[in-house]
């Protein structure tokens, strides 16, 4: 399982979640070159350790565990995963 960043992040990209993630699995970070090219941040489903730290940090309640992503945001599960398949690393 992993956590997922959902629609409320769009255009917000507050990055509080990046600061609290103990395994640095939320990208792009503000100092990464593609930060401006993305409307939201993404959690790496392979790296996420389900610690829940980002949920509390998020000012717009955008983050949920994967199995609790509301119906209308289901596409964000794939949107998060897809970012990390682009070979961004």
Partner 1 sequence: MSAAPARPGQTTSARPDIVERDDLERLVRRFYGQALHDPVIGHLFEIAQMDLDAHVPTMVDFWQTIVLPIPAYRRSAFAVHVALHEQEPLTAEHFDRWLTLWNQTVDELFAGERAELAKARATRVARAFALRLAGRSEPLLRIERPAAR
**Nearest-approach distance from CB 38 to partner 1, in angstroms:** 20
CB nearer to partner 1: give 29 or 36. 29
Q: What phi and psi, each to the nearest 5 degrees, are found at residue 3?
A: -95, 160
CB nearer to partner 1: give 14 or 36. 14
Q: How far apart are CA 60 and CA 40, in angstroms?
A: 12
Binding site for partner 1 (CB under 8 A): 1, 7-8, 20, 22-24, 46-47, 49-57, 61, 64-65, 68, 70, 72
DSSP string, 8-39: GGTTT---HHHHH-TT--EE--TTSTTGGG-S
CB nearer to partner 1: give 55 or 79. 55
**Nearest-approach distance from CB 31 to partner 1, in angstroms:** 18
Instruction: Report which of 38, 3, 34 is spatially closest to residue 17, judged by C-alpha positions.
Output: 3
CA gyration radius, the chain: 12
**Nearest-approach distance from CB 49 to partner 1, in angstroms:** 5
């Amino acid at each position: 399982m992993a956590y997922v960043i959902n629609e409320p992040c769009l255009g917000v990209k507050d990055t509080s979640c990046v600061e609290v993630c103990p395994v640095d699995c939320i990208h792009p970070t503000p100092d990464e070159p593609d930060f401006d090219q993305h409307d939201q941040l993404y959690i790496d489903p392979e790296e996420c350790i389900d610690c829940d730290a980002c949920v509390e940090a998020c000012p717009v309640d955008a983050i949920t565990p994967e199995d609790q992503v509301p119906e209308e945001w289901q596409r964000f599960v794939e949107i998060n995963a897809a970012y990390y398949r682009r070979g961004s690393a």
